[in-house]
Each structure stands twice: as C-alpha cells, then as structure tokens.
Structure 1
C-alpha cells in the first residue's frame, strides 16, 4: 500500500467513526453511554480475556510480566468504573437558579488516542471507556509493538458490542502497519487528541492543529526522611519499583535518603530484595545500561534475573535480589542514572538533611520528570506541604507505593488513570490525571438574572486604605 492509499484508509476509518458517533449521540440516554462503557470494561476484565491480553502483551512487546499485567488490567479498569459509575455525562448536568445557568453535557466527537507499548491493553481500554462514557467514538494509534494487543482488545470489545447492538465503528484503530504519516492524519482528523507515550508524540499532538491533551515524562523521585517508618517505606518502594518490571511512568527512578537514616534504610531495603551497588560500581552499571547511549533493550522492563545477568551482576548481588539501587551524585544529561530507566534499577542519592533532599529532588525533576510527581516517606505533614509549595510537580505522594498511588488507588482520592498530566512544568495542558471530564464538553444556557454590580468603592476600599487613591 502506497502513502496515498495509507492516508485514504485512515480517512475512511475517521469517516466511519464520525458517522457512528453521530448515531450513538442521536437520541442517546445516559444508560446508552453507561452500557457502552461497561461493555468495553468487561471486554478487558473478563478473566480469560484479561489473561490472553496480558500474555500477548508481554510476548509481543517484551516488556513487563504476565501476572502484573493481569493485575493492572483488572484494577485500573475496575477503579475507572468506580470513578465513572455515578458521573452524569448526558443531558442536564447542572442547573443553578442563582446564576441562571444550565449546563448540558455534550460529546466532543471523535477522539484520536496514541497509546504506548508499556501498557498496550490497559491504556487503550482506559481511553475507550472514558470516550464511550461521554458519547464519543475513538480511533487508536498503538505503538508498533502494541498493535497485536490493541487488535485483540478491539476484537473483545466488538464482541461485547454485538451483545447490546452497538456499532463496531465506535471503537477502531489506525490500520497496521503503523506509521508516522497515518498517525499524523488521524491526529489531524480527530476532534480531540489524547497522547500517552513518547515526548515526540506529545509534541506532534500539540502541533497537529487539533485540540490536544498530552502527558509528560515520568522520572519519579522519592525522598525518605529521618522521620519515616523505614521498613514500611522500603516495602512500598520495592513493591512499586518491581511491579510489571518497572514499565510504569510512576515507578521510582531515584531515591533521595537523608544521612541520619541512610544506613538503616539501606538495610531495610536489602530485606525487601534491594541490592546496593556502591558508587564505585556506578560506571559499570551505566556502561551496561546505556551501551550505545540508548537504554539497553535486554534490561528494559525485564525480570530480576534477566536484568542482573545483563548488568553483569550475577554472583555479585544476593540471590534474592529483586532490584538494585546504585549510589550516585550526578544529575543532568551527562549522568543518565538521574533519568528514567524503565528497569529494576533505581539511583540512590544521599542528602545531608531534608532541606538538602528537597533541593536534590528538585534538580532531578528539572532535568527530567518535571510536573509528574514526587514521593515522600515521612511522618512530618509539613514536609509534604513544603514539597507541594516549592517542587515543580503536580503530585506529592505521601507514604504510599508510588506506582500504585499516582494513577489512582482504592485508598486515595486520585482518579484511576494511566496518563498523568504534568502542567506547565511538563509542557502539558492539564495538571490532573486524565479522566472522564476531559472527554466531555458542555453547552451553557444563559438566562438573565437580577444584576450583581458592585460599586467602585466596594472593590477598591481596602486597596486605597493601603496604597492611597
């Protein structure tokens, strides 16, 4: 198929999506939108299908592990369904006599979604459910390695659609093989673009001429201070760092530990399978992890034994090692350990005290990961507030396993999502977790009300008292 035929094929898909969305919206009810979302959710959550998607995802991408993919597919989708269960996305959503304004929920139209290979089923499912809940059609552009999982997911969704009489064209994907040209055409033809993945894709989305929501790069930094419960902190960090072999953008990439409890924390970390690589071994890890200046694919998102062998650490770390922490001081482009590693490797920094730890963490995030999130293990609530007021971040995750908490958890109030907006720090238009509200717009009915007009004196009296007239 030549380039012209490729573009024509994308245009046909977008036309079908637009027609299907118009029919979906015509005469719609909240129940119709809810049933569509439930159909897509059950398509990935049904245990047999979930396992098939997890196994295919790991087989075709080489990233992560099957048990954790199953857990992620289930919990992320279940949490999303909890979040949207009572959300009103059709008809009148608010009516305020005081302002005279009535808000009516309206679909956006056709959503174009670019999704990554790290979560080739969970991320597209999240986008699909949100889109359908708000009355939209959606067209997906998966990464090349994620195509097979995306095709399988859409097959499962269409099977569920057949049970309730929904049009398959509500959920489609760019025809494989993927290409930048086809994805670009999809972006240009959509009504809203949602991009999770590489920063190149995010930048392309923001410049495609279509309203866009992109999310920033992860490079999670976590501070462990002198008031922390060290065993609890180590347990949570280990669970988070190793989950799905560190494929999540919310996996810890740097630990900043204050000097007073540094040795005790290293011991606690060892009890959780975290092996310390002293600063003298840093160069060896960097050489193996970035052999040609790029992350080593034989280490990225691999099981612990594969990672240990690829880094040349067999026999040098304990047999029960689940992840490694490499002592380092460097931050910036000449120090790759300070960036995202997508592996069971975390950089370990020693800080003089909490103030120094906050400064180190800020420098790391300004190098990479600004806006995304920072973790804190501490018993001092004021320290969380300090980070929230001074660090370039949209989330401060306190005393939690970071990758489970950032994207929503059953024991915190964040929306369940696999896409974290990073605000202006991360070059994004949103600072929240991507959620159903981003897939809906409203029309306002505006009525006349009695005027509410203050006098000039009411507005400026305090200012005049301070500054003079």
Structure 2
C-alpha cells in the first residue's frame, strides 16, 4: 500500500512552481506594455464566456452567498477592471517630466504568491491575474481548500488563453495538491518577491513572518455613520443593498450602523420600511451564540447565509421576505459578538448623541479587530465629513454610497478592484484598492541640471550656517573649494571602509 504525503508533495510543487516562475518572469520582463495588454485582453475575453458557470460552481462548492451576485462580481472584473487597465502604463517609461528632467520607469516586482478568499474565489482570482500580467509579474496561486474546484477551473481557462497569446509558461500557475505547508513554502521561497493575500487572515502572521512585502486585502469591522443631515431614506437603502449583496460577504460591506440619536426613530422606520427586522435582546443573543463558539472561533455554516435562513436557525419569527437582521447595541466589547465582523446580512445598531461621540464609536469599531478596512459616512455636512476623513484610522472613507459597491469602485471613482488593501492598521503595505501600480516599483531617472560650481554660488552655499550647526564661532560661509574638499574626504573614507570588507 502506497502512502502519499500531500504536505510533502505540496511543498515540492511550490518549489518547482516558484523556480519555473522566476525563470519565466525574466522573459516576461522584456515584454513591452503593448504585448502585456494583448495577453490581458485575451485572458479577459476567454474567461468572460464562462462567468455564469463559474459563479454557480463557486456557490455550489462553498455554499456562501448568492450565485447571481457572484456573477455580477465576475462581470464587474471582466468589464470595469479591464476597461480601467486599458491605456494604463505599468512597465517601461511610465512618466516623464521634461521640465524637471525626471523619468519614471515601471519595474515588475517579480514572482507573486497569491492567496484568495473562499467568499469571492473566482472574481478575486481573475482580478489578481489580470493586474499581475498587466504589470509584467508572474503569479502563483495557492487555492483556498474550500474553493479548489472553482479556482482551478478559472485558472485553467486563463492559463490556456494566456499561453496562446504568448505568456511564457510558468508565469501563471497554481499549487496542487493544496496544503498549508505548500502555501507556506511558496510564501517563503527565495524566488517569491511579493505576497498578495485576500481574505485569508489565518495565514497573515506567516506571510508577515516571511520577510516579504505583503499586500493584505482583508475585511474588517467597518461601520456606517448616518449623520443628522443625511438623506435618511437613501442612506438606509444604500446600506441594505450593500449588506445584503452576496449575503454580506463582500470585503467592504458594513458590519454596523452608528446613528445620530436625534434622527434614530426616523432611521429605524426607514430600515423597517425597506426590509430590515429589529430583533429583541433575547433574539439577538440567541442568534449571536450561533456565530461563534465559546472560545471565539467562527462556527461553520454561518457565513454568507440569507436573513430568513439565519432567523429560522435561531428560532426567530420574522416577516416573510425580510432582508436584514438588526441588533440594538450600546457598547463595543470583547464579550459581545456584535462587536465582531459578521459576514452575513446582520447589523449591529448604535445610537450616539452627536457626530463627535459617533466618531469615537466608529474608531472603537474599526480598531476592535485591528483591520480598520472601510468606513462609510452618510452626511451633507462637509465639515463633519472632513473631520471623519482626518481622524479615522481606516483604509478608505466612503461618502454617501453603499460600502460594498463604493469600496470595489463601482459607485465611486476608486480603482475597480476585488482586493481592497487593509494597510492602515499595519496588516499590509498599502490600503489602496489594489491595482497593477501596487505590483511594481518605480525606478527614478534624474538628469544633472546643476554643477558643483553652481552649488557654490552666492545664492546657495555662500550663506552663513546657523550658529547651532557648528557652534558660536563657526559662522563663516562654505566656499565651493571647501565643499569639494569635504566631499573628497568623505569618498576616501567610504572607499577605505569598503576595501576592508
């Protein structure tokens, strides 16, 4: 009887893929932007023919959300993201300033290790593939174990299309068999230059421990604040549409609502009018117990489930067609499950006396799980909006828009992305909506525009240095000859030190 060790196989596969990708990316790095754009176009067109089937497959495999909404996300990537990529320059000369004589050169990072979320496996995989190729990078995916079939299917489609368009073999690949050991090896491999991680918080500590730059696209305990000057009916409709989309699993979806107390009765009526149900305290606690185990772990089967289905499980009688369950809360605390992220159509509801107290409540919520991802404010008071923008420890602030759609760039002019950076609390290197520009570094080219003699002119060096620089007696100007002597001596010291090494 042959015993197969999947961990060892996965580790070996990770090493092979990383080494192959490293060599293949060297070829890819020579491609002009126009050739990369041709490959991106071919990949997007090929996968566009399978978007609905992939949405159904990912829903059936994961049992998260609604396949119809996953189909919308797939379409969004293949249309909006692709449209924004068109004409963007990421490699080669990407900017020139003839006046300052500075040129920017876009340089790919190299080999990217990518982990994608079980909540949006297909759309995120497509998005990350397109932006990686666009920026001249190789990318290797470690599929989520619960979304292995759907991720493998979409990657097979894209690999075939990309190869036909000339992508060097090995630049787009995925790990199989899947294991944490294989993913860990991939992240730590010497040929991996960057880790692109979306919604896999359990692997974040290991990614950060690898010493590689990490772009983390997570979720977070994002609140929405309805301020007294807001268009209440529109704000409520936006929040419900956002929180019920794909049954609440979108990365920027609202997790709680903070409301100006003076408008709270009107806000509650609007929520009820548009399909929300306010639970009693007893019902709220019974539902909360279903989300987490006593030791704080998330229970299986509670993510991406409809409000009606959740209510039935908890034995809560709700009106037919209810879209959203709401729990009145007062405090943010470790012991209250509603202070945590609930990836379902469930909202915590807080009242505060004024925008300043609401500001503090939002900060508490944002920092509670340390992701500080996205905050929404519904207001017509520009001063209040500005104060929120200045004070909140958050990756993105959205104004008068649904968090789900505004965060991904559908109802805002943010870059259309399925990987939303969570960098404000130290989770990753950027809080951007991740684009190809996050997958390159910029080489600066600066032409000489002044000479050493010019630096010694009366308008620059020939000015007395403040007494604090050299003491009270050292107030004489530096001549060009003195400066040249200082530089020469410094260079001699550096060369001598280098020779000793």
TM-score, length of structure 2 as denominator length = 0.85
Return the alpha-carbon distance in structure 2 between the equivalents of residues 457 and 290 of structure 1.
Answer: 70
* Alpha-carbon distance between aligned partners in 2 of 1:180 and 1:72, rounded to the nearest angstrom: 27
Contact 1:372 1:426 in 2 (8 A): no
Total equivalences in the alignment? 457
* Partner residue, 1:40: 43
Query: Which residue of structure 1 lines up, in the alignment, with residue 443 of structure 2?
Result: 443
Offset, 1:245: 0.8
Matched, 1:326 2:327: yes
CA shift at 1:426, angstroms? 4.3
Match of 1:278 in 2: 280
2:144, 2:104 → 1: CA distance?
Answer: 37
Deviation at 1:168, TM superposition (A): 4.6
Instruction: Determine the structure 2 residue equivalent to 1:75.
Output: 76
The whole-number CA distance in structure 1 between the counterparts of 2:167 and 2:460 is: 57
Please say if 1:18 is aligned against 2:19: no
- Whether 2:38 is the aligned partner of 1:31: answer no
C-alpha contact 2:218 2:421 (8 A) present in aligned 1: yes
Task: Mark the CA change 1:218 to 1:192 in structure 2 (over 3 Å): closer, same or farther.
Answer: same
Deviation of 1:9 (Å): 1.8
| Gap change, CA 1:278 and 1:349, over 3 Å in 2 | farther
Which stretch shifts more, 86-95 or 331-340?
86-95
Name the structure 2 match of 1:352.
353
How far the C-alpha of 1:278 sits from its partner, in A, is 3.2
Structure 1 equivalent of residue 486 of structure 2 = none
Tell me the equivalent position of 2:413.
Answer: 413
Q: Deviation digits for residues 413-439 of structure 1, max 9, x if unmatched? A: 211112222334243221222111011
In 2, Cα distance between equivalents of 1:438 and 1:298: 34
Corresponding residue number in structure 2 for 1:466: none
Cα contact 2:393–2:424 (8 A) shared by 1: no
Contact 1:192 1:211 in 2 (8 A): yes
Structure 1: any 5+ residue segments left out of the alignment?
464-468
Match of 2:11 among 7, 17, 24: 7
Q: Distance in 1 between matches of 2:89 and 2:465?
A: 41
Counterpart mapping for 1:364-375 below 5 A:
364-368=365-369, 370-375=371-376
Partner of residue 218 from structure 1, selected from 217, 220, 238: 220
**In structure 1, distance between residues paired with 2:242 and 2:440:** 32
Distance 1:11 1:250, change over 3 A: same
Larger Rg: 1 or 2?
A: 2
| Greater alpha carbon shift after TM alignment, 163-172 vs 358-367 | 163-172
Comparing 361-370 and 69-78, the one that deviates more: 361-370
Matching of residue 197 in structure 1 with residue 199 in structure 2: yes
- Distance change in 2, residues 1:243/1:223 (3 Å): same
How far 1:222 moved relative to its partner?
0.5
The aligned counterpart of 2:116 is 115
Q: 1:226 to 1:103 in 2, by over 3 A?
A: closer
Change (3 A) 1:107 1:288: closer
Aligned residues of 2:194 and 2:212 also touching (Cα < 8 A): yes
Q: How far off is 1:224 after superposition?
A: 0.8
1:139 corresponds to which residue? 140
Q: What displacement does 1:219 show?
A: 1.3
RMSD value, Cα: 2.4
Once residues 92 and 321 of structure 1 are traced to their aligned partners in structure 2, the CA distance between those partners, rounded to angstroms, is 54
The equivalent of 2:307 in structure 1 is 304
1:154-303 to 2 correspondence within 5 Å? 154-176=155-177, 178-189=178-189, 190-292=192-294, 293-303=296-306
- Using the TM superposition, give the Cα deviation of residue 291 of structure 1 relative to its aligned residue in structure 2, in angstroms: 4.7
- Deviation larger for 139-148 or 159-168: 159-168
Q: Confirm or deny: 8 A CA contact 1:90 1:106 kept in the other structure.
A: yes
Distance 1:263 1:33, change over 3 A: same
CA contact (8 A) 1:332 1:364 kept: no
With 147-156 and 288-297 compared, the bigger mean Cα shift is at 288-297
Relative to structure 1, is the Cα distance of residues 460 and 126 closer, same or farther in structure 2, using a 3 angstrom cutoff?
A: farther
